[in-house]
Amino acid sequence: MVSSYRLTKQAKMIKTDDFSSVFSFHKRVASAHLVMHYRPNHLALARLGLVVGKKTAKLAVSRNYMKRVLRELFRHKQHEVSHVDLIVRVQKPFNRSEYKQIQQEFELLITKLNQKVILNAQTLSSVNAAPLLG
């Protein structure tokens, strides 16, 4: 059992270079409201970056609410997420009445993400091990 659900400073992506490297990796999973871009990292934790554009929600209050909700959902699931740099981008705005739906989408995307990361890791390990066998 993990002792803390605190979202540490190390678990947040802030630098532009970090965001650029994740976007240039071109791996993502998507749902109706959210898109998760990801890139495996060599850290002992998952890191989170959030993008809520002005085209998605014009009011800062709305954008901040969406970021707050996503940060909280990540905080509860951070120990279940593979070691990746993760950028969550909001495609379609949501409000308080859609919280349960967003929570379900987030959990579904985390599950998909973990499956893809594990599958990619297995594929890479089998490709790297193949030359040694022959």
Question: What is the tens place of the pLDDT at every residue in 68-102?
Answer: 999 999 999 888 888 899 999 999 999 999 999 99
Confidence band for 11, pLDDT divided at 50, 70 and 90: confident
In a domain, 117, yes or no: yes
Single-letter code of the amino acid located at 11? A
Is the model's pLDDT at 51 over the cut of 80? yes
**Length, in residues, of the chain:** 134
Q: What is the pTM of this model?
A: 0.84
What's the pLDDT band for 118 if we cut at 50, 70, 90?
confident
Strand 84-90: give its sheet, edge to edge.
28-30, 34-40, 84-90, 47-51
Host domain of residue 82: 9-123
pLDDT > 70: percent of the chain: 90
Work out how many domains the chain is built from and give that number: 1
Interval 28-35 mean pLDDT: 94
**Is residue 130, in this structure, part of any structural domain at all?**
no
On whether residue 119 sits in a domain, the answer given is yes
Query: In this structure, is residue 129 part of a structural domain?
Result: no
Query: Is 55 among the domain residues?
Result: yes
Residue 132 maps to a domain: no
CA distance 66 to 18: 21
Instruction: Report, as an integer, the average pLDDT of 60-66.
Output: 96
Crossing angle of helices 99-133/60-77, nearest 10°? 50
